[in-house]
Copies of this chain bind each other. A is one copy, B any other.
């Protein structure tokens, strides 16, 4: 399949796919006589993996090491597991922060409804150094 089809299937911009190839994160595809990239189902799976990992908030470097871990059949679980675990901690912290911010924002709305502008404490809500 050509790059456009791969792009559609993985919901990725064509330019981004070429960028991934330049970065060496997606293996180069075979070329047709007309020098078109010709992708295989393996590329599709790998790119899907990359995109999904990026969506889940892993950095390029992390995706790289996830891919490396995937190649090594011996101990993939421990490494991948550890990365996911660490990531979950971050996500939980973010959800907590956003919930705080949300509360302050809706407080602001209520203050407004009661005709008196309340003090906005959004900075106070998130302005404290983390415990």
Binding site for B on A (CB under 8 A): 9-10, 44-46, 48-49, 52-53, 55-57, 66-67, 69-78, 80-81, 84-85, 87-88, 91-92, 94-95, 97-99, 101-102, 104-106, 108-109, 112-115, 117-120, 122-124, 126-130
- Say yes or no: A77-B112 contact (C-beta < 8 A), given A88-B102, A88-B106: yes
Distance to closest chain B CB from A116 (angstroms)? 8
Contact A94 B55 (CB under 8 A): yes
Copies in the assembly, this chain? 2
Q: Is A45 within 8 A of B102, CB to CB? A: no
Could you say which residues of chain B place their CB within 8 Å of the CB of A70? 120, 122-123
List chain B residues, Cβ under 8 A from A53: 101, 126
Listed from nearest, the 6 A-B pairs whose CB atoms lie closest are A45-B127, A77-B120, A70-B123, A49-B127, A52-B126, A81-B112
Q: Are B66 and A108 in contact (CB under 8 A)?
A: no
- For residue A66, which residues in chain B have a CB less than 8 angstroms away from its CB? 122-123, 126
Contact of A72 among B80, B104, B119 (CB under 8 A): B119
With both chains docked as a complex, state the minimum distance between the C-beta of A51 and any C-beta of chain B, in angstroms: 9
**Smallest Cβ distance from A56 to chain B, in angstroms?**
6
